[in-house]
Chains A and B, each alone.
Chain A
């Protein structure tokens, strides 16, 4: 087997070390206690676990927002430092968790994409950047008219599509997605996930997918690592880990997850509404994504 695209070796992150004002050592909190994993080219790799397990910290190390206390990352065989050069930074891009805060509120979508494309010298003129922006929006199913609007004009699902377009703007080889649908309405989650999966296949991307939802991971990913308390306790192909868990914790996690129908069924508009969690009131239908901009004043009260 060829060399993995990304390798993490003994990755550790501690928060809040150092000394107090009186010189006593503070007890650091270990968010990652030395994890190892690798992501192969073209593969969708998932990290699952409860909140606080260290999944997001791992993702932030990979994207370069968190400096590891110990351990190293290798990207295509080369060391991937915390301070990266342009090529390395562009190669790894991220889809953020909260589409309501991940877009600059005062910038139009066009301005934001233009800045990104031109600062990174992917496009050298405003016109070229606009052309590329339109292509990017097209890839995520958004119209050209979105360019001249600000984020508040869009729903959560639409914003997340824009967030995906932004991540793709720098033509990455590895896409990190940190709970990309957890802030979205259940009815929209499936379509955004389908988009991610489609783009991943189409562009031959590798993906690091952070989630707590095993049903989603089953649909989307090839291999999975289960994290608990800063450590990876189980890793392997998705089918193997999820159908035949070796660890007690993985079994509990599986038992706690809701069983969603396959993705194709959810996306099919003709199919009956997906059975939601048993506790949800029967017949509750979430409204489809609004195509018209939501009343901006409605949110402020």
Chain B
């Protein structure tokens, strides 16, 4: 599952975009709809960022303070609004601090692969020839490895930690962006406006960043917004193997896996971080949809 999570199909965001386009009839409604999803997405994700930034202010307890006698209390007891976990730590506080770590990792793990993949893909697709062959070879090799195995190996080598996770995900995840942008750059590269820029003597780097990039960037952006969520889930998998965010730092994925034994009795331990992931994901998806519609000005 995590294998797929790290290499989401490129078709996914496109299919979703198409579905949104079809479900809303008429130009006016489309426009409002696009802006509405962007606005709503920004509000949701903005709230998440705010929570992450203010975690130390709004959290009622220290997220790392253990209190074994009061482990696994029900929500609402003794001021623990969401109860406590198996070590007696306040779940709400851990949830709020977890936003900080998870959103930081997700943003870093999206930004770097996004930038690297986009540039590599553009270069391969636009230049073609041996440059393309070499870069596609590298992309295929990375793709051929099960992403999780590569991730685990990298984390082992580099030692667990937040920075390690970002680096490891970057090294495995850039290929999705590279492949996506290579295909569209290849298509754009034969368009007459690119030929016109070439005959007009515009330097290659300028053609890539000013002419090709604005016309291919929508799909990678949409991919990035769904990717961010999948990365949070991937961190869970790493946490399960003991390679995730090092304890006691709170993160949603680890919280879910730690709550697994108590699912029958204390289900909220797993559900609370689950809901946090869903809400974040919803916000990111809405931003992705909204941006896709807004940027598509052709």
A binds B: yes
Which A positions have Cβ atoms within 8 angstroms of B? 63-65, 86, 89-90, 92-94, 96-98, 101-107, 115-116, 119-120, 150, 152, 163, 166, 169-170, 295, 297
Contact residue among B192, B201, B297 (Cβ-Cβ distance under 8 Å from A101):
B192
| A65 lies within 8 A of B297 (CB) | no
**B58: shortest Cβ distance to chain A, in Å?**
42
Residue in chain B with minimal CB distance to A120 = B201
Interface residues on B, range: 20 to 34
A94 touches B193 (CB 8 A): no
Given contacts A104-B211, A166-B200, 11 further A-B contacts (CB under 8 A): A90-B201, A93-B200, A94-B196, A101-B193, A105-B297, A106-B214, A106-B297, A119-B200, A119-B201, A152-B297, A170-B201
List 8 A-B pairs, Cβ < 8 Å.
Answer: A93-B199, A93-B200, A94-B195, A105-B193, A105-B215, A107-B210, A150-B297, A170-B201
Q: Are B203 and A64 in contact (CB under 8 A)?
A: no
> Nearest 8 A-B pairs (CB), nearest first?
A102-B192, A297-B27, A96-B192, A106-B214, A104-B193, A105-B298, A101-B192, A101-B191
Which residues between 181 and 234 of chain B lie within 8 Å of chain A, taking CB atoms? 191-193, 195-203, 206, 210-211, 214-215
Q: How many A-B contacts if CB must be within 8 Å?
A: 68
Q: A115-B210, A150-B297, A152-B298 are known contacts. Are A65 and B195 too (CB-CB below 8 A)?
A: yes
| Alpha-carbon distance between A297 and B215 when the two chains are bound, in angstroms | 18
Within the complex, what minimum Cβ distance (angstroms) separates B9 from chain A? 24
Within the complex, the shortest CB–CB distance from B221 to chain A, in Å, comes to 14
Interface centre among A94, A105, A170 (most CB of B within 10 A): A105
Q: Nearest chain-B residue to A84 (Cβ)?
A: B201
Query: How far does the alpha carbon of A169 sit from the alpha carbon of B214 in the complex, in Å?
Result: 24
Q: Which of B248-298 contact A (CB under 8 A)?
A: 297-298
Given contacts A102-B196, A105-B215, whether A86 and B201 have CB atoms under 8 Å apart is yes
How far, in whole Å, are A115 and B191 apart by their CA atoms in the complex?
18
Residue in chain A with minimal CB distance to B27: A297
A106 touches B215 (CB 8 A): yes
Closest to B212 in A: A104
Residues A116 and B191 in contact in the complex (CB < 8 Å), given A102-B196, A166-B196: no
Give Cα A63–Cα B198 distance, bound, in whole angstroms.
10
- Bound together, the chains give a CA A96 to CA B78 distance in angstroms of 75
User: How distant is the Cα of A92 from the Cα of B192 in the complex, in angstroms?
Assistant: 16
- In the bound assembly, the distance between CA atoms of A163 and B199 in angstroms comes to 13
Shortest A118–chain B CB gap in Å is: 10
Q: Report whether A97 and B203 are in contact in the complex, using a CB–CB cutoff of 8 Å.
A: no
Q: Which residues of A contact B298 (CB under 8 A)?
A: 105-106, 152
Q: In whole angstroms, what is the CA distance A295 to B26 when docked?
A: 13
Asked whether A63 lies within 8 Å of B199 as measured between CB atoms, the reply is yes
Report the separation of the CA atoms of residues A152 and B296 in the bound assembly, to the nearest whole angstrom: 12
Pairwise interchain contact A170-B192, C-beta atoms closer than 8 A? no
Among B145-200, those with CB < 8 Å from A are 191-193, 195-200
CB neighbours (8 Å) of B197 from chain A are 104
**Bound-state Cα–Cα, A65 to B190, Å:** 11
| Chain B residues positioned under 8 Å from A92 (CB to CB) | 199
Nearest residue (CB) in B for A94 is B199
Contact A115 B202 (CB under 8 A): yes
- Assess the B200–A98 pair: CB atoms within 8 A: no
Please give the distance in Å from A50's CB to the nearest CB on chain B.
21
Identify the closest chain A residue to B194 (Cβ). Answer: A104
Q: Which residue of A lies closest to B30 (CB)?
A: A297
Which of B30, B197, B203: most chain A CB closer than 10 A?
B197
- Please indicate the chain B residues that have their CB under 8 angstroms from the CB of A119 in the complex: 200-203, 206
The answer to whether B198 and A170 have CB atoms under 8 Å apart is no
Residues from 30 to 62 in B contacting A, C-beta threshold 8 Å: 30
B218 to chain A, nearest CB (A): 11
List, in ascending order, chain B residues with CB within 8 A of A97's CB. 192
A126 to B27, CA, bound (A): 36
Contacts A96-B195, A101-B193 given; does A120 touch B297 at CB 8 Å: no
What's the Cα separation between A163 and B193 when bound, in Å? 10
**Docked-complex contact B199 and A64, CB < 8 angstroms:** yes
**Nearest CB of B to A98, in Å:** 6
Q: What A residues does B215 contact at CB under 8 A?
A: 104-106
Q: Bound state CA distance, A89 and B297, in angstroms?
A: 32
> How near does chain A come to B30, taking the closest CB pair, in angstroms?
8
In the assembled complex, which residues on chain B have CB atoms less than 8 Å from the CB atom of A106? 214-215, 297-298
Name the residue of chain B whose CB is nearest to the CB of A64: B199
Please indicate the chain B residues that have their CB under 8 angstroms from the CB of A89 in the complex.
199, 201
Please, which residues of chain B bring their CB within 8 A of the CB of A166?
A: 196, 200
Q: Determine whether the beta carbon of A120 is less than 8 Å from that of B196.
A: no
- Contacting residues, chain A, for B214 (C-beta < 8 A): 106
